[in-house]
Amino acid sequence: MTWASLFDLEIVYVMTGAVLIVFAGFTLADRENRARVGTALFWLLLGIVFALGSHLPAWLNGVLVIALVAIDGAGQVRQGGYREAAPATRAASAERLGLLLFLPVLLIPIVTFAATEVFDGPGFVANDVLYAGLGLSSVLAAAAALLITRAKPIWLVHDGRRLADAIGAVMILPQLLAALGELFKAAGVGKVIASGITAVIPTDSLFAVVLVCCTSVALFTFIMGNSFAAFPVIMAGIGVPLLIEPFGVDPALVGLLTITVASCGTLCTPMAANFNLVPPALLEMRDRYGVIKAQAPVAAIMFVTHVLLLWGMAAFDLV
Amino acid sequence: MEWLRLIGVAIVVVGFALRLRVTIVVLAAGIATGLVAQQLDGGGGPNVVSTLGQAFVNGRVITLVVLALPALGVLERYGLQEQCRRVILKFGAATAGRLLLVFHLFRTAVVAVGIRINGHVVFSRPLVVPMALPAAGLDAPVDEEAVVRDVDRVKATTSAAENYANFFGQNLFFGSPGVALVVKNLADNGHVVSALLVAKVAVPVAVAALLVSWVQYALLDRWLRRRRAARAEGTP
């Protein structure tokens, strides 16, 4: 066994799958969950995709994905009961443990980052070390959390699935959107958008393309209320074919700034209800759109900042 | 008929705009795109369901966050959120604007180490707004109607601070789903980039967000001061 084999993503996928399958088992026994069968099935199937995905035929993985979406579509992924601690108990515990409570969570980025620094060089794939490191350090964090709190290990399951259920089927959304990006790529969606844009604007001007890229991803996000959903479309149509490939702009720069400039659209749209419309209700504000109004000027300045950052860092090769 | 390939884009836009269930919209867009492309390219190739399955399996790194949930959950049971609030309380500030600046910094730090929290529920309502209103002299108004706009603006800016720090700070964490989506998407397009580099690009974004918001927080303080002065003089 070599060090490199420790950072095998397959191990981490199997671990994740196992965690999800354990969640599924306990969910099935959760009588407080009105959709315990559906919810359990959801985590079980996702667990199977994780643990066995590399070995199952592609069509079967596809069927499992469709099943996951169908369960969610039928509204059968819900929250149950987790025997939560009373607020007073939590407050007393925070008083007792203090800053120690942050330690296990901090272990995750610190240990992972250390791993990427130590296990560098031939034989190691940087991103594999990073993502496998994230998985392994999460296990370390769980052990540290038990050590510090002296909690019974069973709470790892109950509180873990409490958070998983709270996120719900949205958990798979980023992964599903990445798959959509791959399907777009295979279908040549990007080429169609890129040729349309080339017909309208001067795509030999770096600044013009940067402006169009930022504007369209923010606008798409404004309409849809979700920056992750806009991302694969804009990358396929503009980011990759019109910025990265012709101008040789650093892909990391284009990718990250495209996803954060989209947030400027999120800040201005009532479509992102959880961020913009729920808070005014939660805080009992008079003006339902007060949060959006407060955010709009900052969003506008951040938008301009993104255009200048992307253009400037690309033009002067600052990455 | 090439434009028909964009059917998936249309489905995504319309589906999200109509607030249909997001997973269904994305799946429908993927399958429709695959089917149309197969027709236009004269059949052949792997079927859509297989392509979808393979693509989803290839993207598993994006959902690795699942592994961190047990640790986070147990820590929450033992008061992680309460401890976060204690830290903010300890840093209390003299004015609403300065309090929001402290909150913005703390909230960025929390999200940058990979702790995902709904800050509107956990921080804004129980803690930041109740701290900001007294700091702005708005906790026990003589005439509630006279300060409605002031109170609303403090609450709105608090929610905004939560959103700024969350949106522009979350990709500082190299393990965030956002960074993973970027890395995966670029890899599918033939560009291998390190997740650490992607997260590094998030640094100027987070700094810019802090500076721009800072101005807004300072302007809030100035506006509140002027309103207070106007009220003291008895002018509306």
Find chain A residues with C-beta within 8 A of B29's C-beta: 180
Subunit contact A184:B8, Cβ cutoff 8 A = yes
Whole-number Å distance between alpha carbons of A103 and A112: 14
Q: Which chain A residues are Cβ-neighbours of B16 within 8 angstroms? A: 223-226, 229, 271
Interface touch B115/A105, C-beta < 8 Å: yes
Interval A214-270: pLDDT, tens: 999 999 899 888 898 889 989 999 999 999 999 999 999 999 999 999 999 999 999
Domain ranges of chain B: 2-58, 65-232
Structure confidence at residue A40 (pLDDT): 98
CB atoms B195 and A130 under 8 Å:
yes
Q: Which of A4-13, A24-33, A166-175, B153-162 has the lowest mean pLDDT?
A: A4-13
> Given CB atoms, is A262 within the 8 Å cutoff of chain B?
no
Q: Which of A97, A149, A176 sits opposite B27 (nearest CB)?
A: A176
Q: What is the pLDDT of residue B94?
A: 86
Whether residue A170 contacts residue B83, with contact meaning beta carbons closer than 8 Å, is answered with: no
C-alpha span between B17 and A220 (Å, rounded): 10
How confident is residue A190, by pLDDT bands cut at 50, 70 and 90? Answer: confident
Taking CA–CA distances from B1, the nearest residue in chain A reads A192
Q: Which residues of B touch A126 (CB under 8 A)?
A: 194-196
Which one of A180, A225, A302 has the shortest CB-CB distance to B30? A180
Question: What are the backbone dihedrals phi and psi of residue B76, each rounded to the nearest 5 degrees, phi first?
Answer: -65, -40
Contact B175 A131 (CB under 8 A): yes
User: Mutation test of the interface with chain A: which of B188, B219, B224, choosing the one with the most A Cβ atoms within 10 A?
Assistant: B188
Looking at chain A, which residue has its C-alpha nearest residue B213?
A298
Nearest CA in chain A to B21: A73
Residue B212 vs residues A82, A132, A285, A298, A303: alpha-carbon distances, Å: 41, 36, 24, 7, 11
Is A12 in the B-facing interface, judged by CB distances under 8 Å? yes
Of chain B, the end-to-end C-alpha distance in Å amounts to 63
CB contact under 8 A, B16 and A172: no
CA of B220 vs chain A CAs: smallest distance (Å): 10
Q: pTM for the complete prediction? A: 0.90
- Among B residues 10-49, those touching chain A with beta carbons less than 8 Å apart: 12-13, 16-17, 19, 21-24, 26-27, 29-30, 33-34, 36-37, 46-49
- For residue A193, list chain B residues with Cβ-Cβ distance below 8 A: 6, 9
B234 — contact with chain A (CB < 8 Å)?
Answer: no
Give the H/E segment covering residue B10.
helix B7-17
Average pLDDT over residues A22-28: 97
Q: Which band of pLDDT confidence, cut at 50, 70 and 90, is reported for residue A136?
A: very high
Check CB contact of B59 with chain A, cutoff 8 Å.
yes
Nearest CB neighbour to B37, from listed A188, A229, A319: A188
Contact status of A219 with chain B (Cβ, < 8 Å): no
Q: Do B129 and A116 touch (CB under 8 A)?
A: no
Chains A, B: CB pairs < 8 Å: 453
Query: Which is nearest to B171 in space by CA: B213, B119, B108?
Result: B108
The predicted pLDDT at position A185 comes to: 86
Predicted pLDDT of residue A1: 56
| Helix or strand run (H / E) with residue A279 | helix A278-282
Rounded to an integer, what distance in angstroms lies between the CA atom of residue A79 and that of residue B120? 20
Asked if B158 contacts B129 with a C-beta cutoff of 8 angstroms, the reply is yes
Q: Comparing C-alpha atoms, which of A129, A127, A171 is closest to residue A16?
A: A171
Structure tokens at B128: 């930041």
Contact state of B72 with A105 under an 8 Å Cβ cutoff:
yes
User: In terms of C-beta density within 10 A (0-12 exposed, 13-18 middle, 19 or more buried), how is residue A317 classed?
Assistant: exposed
How far is the alpha carbon of A200 from chain B, nearest alpha carbon, in Å? 16
> What value does the mean pLDDT of chain A take?
93
Exposure pattern of A130-156 as b/e (b: 16+ CB <10 Å)? bbbbbbbbbbbbbebbbebbebeeebb
Segments of chain B scoring below 50 in pLDDT: none
Interface-testing mutation among A192, A256, A285, A318, with chain B (most B C-beta atoms within 10 A): A256
Q: What is the DSSP letter of A211?
A: H
Of the candidates A15, A106, A158, the beta carbon closest to that of B113 is on: A106
DSSP annotation string for A56-83: S-HHHHHHHHHHHHHHHHTT--------
B66, A9: Cβ pair inside 8 Å? no
The pLDDT tens digits of the residues spanning A68-102 come to 999 999 999 999 999 999 999 999 999 999 999 99
Query: How far apart are the CA of A189 and the nearest CA of chain B, in angstroms?
Result: 6
A222 touches chain B (CB under 8 A): no
